[in-house]
Amino acid sequence: MYDNTAIYELTKHRSLLHVPKEPTEQPTVSDCFENFIISTDRVFEILGKSPVGSVTFEQSEQGDARRQLLHVEKVAIENKRLRKTSEASYIESISYQLHDIIIEEMSEYLKDIPAVMGNLLNLPHNIGMLLDALAVRACSVSKLEPIVATMSWLVDDLTSIVNTPRFRRKDSRGRIIIVETLRTALSFLGIDNLRLLIPSLIVKRATPQITDPFPLIKQKLSSYSTGVAITAQHIAIAQGINKSDAYMLGMLGNLGRCAVIRLYFRMFDKVQLHLLQECQKDKEHKRHDALIKIVPSANHLIALQQTFADALTADVLDELALKRLFITPAMRAIVGSSHAEPSVLSDTLSQARLYAQVRALHQNKLTDANTAKLALSALKYPQGMLAKLKNIDIFTLPLVKSDAED
């Protein structure tokens, strides 16, 4: 199902992104975005730039002191540098041994889709039933309630949201109504909002929470999922296809990415601990010291996502056994499956992903207007769509306060 060689090829490519580029070479939007998900500083590095307000070595007091060193001190520092280079090379070799085991175990684990659903994404077996219920025109509170009631985490999330100032209601005496029952929460939120909220909360539950030393992954993933979903919805309207299907695919299209990231950090801790225990048992002090210094690898994490994520998302959607939500073939087409032809919906997802990536990079001053325009011109967006999207906050769910529904 998965080929370890492909991962190593991608990892090698990711490593090259750390080498300063020639002036004529520019990393792609995809390269920049994949690094942005991990750390903004990585994007500055592959672009050969410095973060705003940072001081280069040559401009710093450290640089001035460096130039004042005596020849003997320079030689001593050079010798120290060579020793560190040798040590770094050894640590890198140990890191690749560690990651060889991680890749092998991940490849095996990801074949068990029910385990991925339950243990990585933390989603119950009837989540597909809930998504189908949301997809039909006749969706109602009475049809959603018995399904949502089986998911305590979702009940808690929805109850918490409905009691926020945005959705808070008052009784005839002006007193705030505290919502405590699921039926009231669903009724006050309304079906239109629930169609946006529930898929978002599903992705929130699936998103890894602990990703040190890259703590911002969860926030960026959440924002990206929303950005893709909202963009896909607007493109779908212009294309004359089901906007609900496009939104759902845009939002759920990151489930594979969430699973891969969470599994990588789990496997890293597990394999590193196992190897450390082996070193202690066999008294391999040098190897033990090297293993302690190894931290999760951004390059491997990016490569693993690129290799596994979309195919895993398609497998998860298959596992959901969706009957009313017709998004799985489009996800298979994104993967390049021979069993699924590209469609307007799959093209919409590709367009939405690229646009959300460009917007995220542009908001963080990690790409310029010309680069963004060139990247977007590679895909044929509906006429006038880019101008329209420019005025839409794609990273915020367009929830509205509604009248209570039955």
Percent of the chain scored above 70 by pLDDT?
A: 83
pTM (2 decimals)?
0.86
Domain locations along the chain: 1-109+208-396, 112-206
Instruction: Count other Cβ atoms within 10 Å, centred on residue 297.
Output: 22
Given a cut of 80, whether residue 70 has pLDDT beyond it is no
pLDDT at 23: 46
pLDDT at 9: 60
Give the chain as a 3 state SS string. Answer: CCCHHHHHHHHHHHHHCCCCCCCCCCCCHHHHHHHHHHCHHHHHHHCCCCCCCCCCHHHCHHHHHHHCCCHHHHHHHHHHHHHHHHHHHHHHHHHHHHHHHHHHHHHHHCCCHHHHHHHHCCCCCCHHHHHHHHHCCCCCHHHHHHHHCCCHHHHHHHHHHHCCCCCCEECCCCCEECCCCHHHHHHHHCHHHHHHHHHHHHHHHHCCCCCCCCCCHHHHHHHHHHHHHHHHHHHHHHHCCCHHHHHHHHHHCCHHHHHHHHHHHHHHHHHHHHHHHHHHHHCCHHHHHHHHHCCCCHHHHHHHHHHHHHHHHHHHHHHHCCCCCCCHHHHHHHHCCCCCCCCHHHHHHHHHHHHHHHHHHHHCCCCCHHHHHHHHCCCCCCCCHHHHHCCCCCCCCCCCCCCCCC
Nearest to 385 by CA among 253, 246, 249, 254: 246
Q: Whole-angstrom Cα distance, residue 14 to residue 212?
A: 19
* Cα 258 → chain centroid: 6
CA count, 13 A, side-chain hemisphere, 96: 13
Q: Whole-angstrom Cα distance, residue 224 to residue 391?
A: 17
- Sign of the dihedral defined by the CA atoms of residues 337, 10, 230, 222, in that order: positive
pLDDT band at 15 (very low <50, low <70, confident <90, very high): low
Q: Whole-angstrom Cα distance, residue 72 to residue 64?
A: 17
Which residues sit opposite 170 in a β-bridge?
176
- Report pLDDT digits (tens) over 296-315: 999 999 999 999 999 999 99
Work out the average pLDDT over 153-160: 97
Given a cut of 70, whether residue 11 has pLDDT beyond it is no
Given a cut of 80, whether residue 50 has pLDDT beyond it is no
Work out the average pLDDT over 319-337: 94
pLDDT at 84: 59
Stretch among 10-14, 57-61, 149-153, 319-323 having the lowest mean pLDDT: 57-61
- Report pLDDT digits (tens) over 108-118: 999 999 999 99
- Report pLDDT digits (tens) over 216-233: 999 999 999 999 999 999
- Sign of the dihedral defined by the CA atoms of residues 90, 42, 276, 303, in that order: negative
More confident residue, 308 or 61: 308
* Distance between start and end Cα atoms, the chain: 46
pLDDT at 169: 87
